[in-house]
Amino acid sequence: MSSVFDSPDEFRLDRPRSELGRHVAFGWGIHFCIGAPLARLETRVVIEAVLERWPYIEFAGDAVRNDSFVLHGLTHLPLTVRRQP
């Protein structure tokens, strides 16, 4: 258990609403990202479009993180996507 989020390294779509407003991916305070609503909309559209085409998605290897302190993220995320189970 971290001091802010339970299992912070896990990507979980079922996090409680009480946790959702406490992340700082879009910054904080006076310089909070002005593009956050657009970024959220784009993310929703992409996830819905992918799941509509390939509802069955599984890991196909290990995720690889980048080394950047500035922009934290993954360089590789091997997946297998299927239309049917």
List contacts with ligand HEM (CB under 6 A): 25-27, 31, 33-35, 38-39
Cβ proximity to ligand HEM, 19 vs 60, nearer residue: 19
| Choice between 33 and 57, CB closer to ligand HEM | 33
Q: How far is the CB of 67 from ligand HEM (least distance, A)?
A: 18
Q: How far is the CB of 41 from ligand HEM (least distance, A)?
A: 9
59-78 b/e (C-beta count within 10 Å ≥ 16 → b): eeeeeeeeeeeeeeeeeeee
Count of helices and strands (H, E) across the chain: 2, 4
CA atoms within 13 A on the CB side of 78: 4
Please state the closest distance from residue 36 (CB atom) to ligand HEM, in A.
Answer: 6
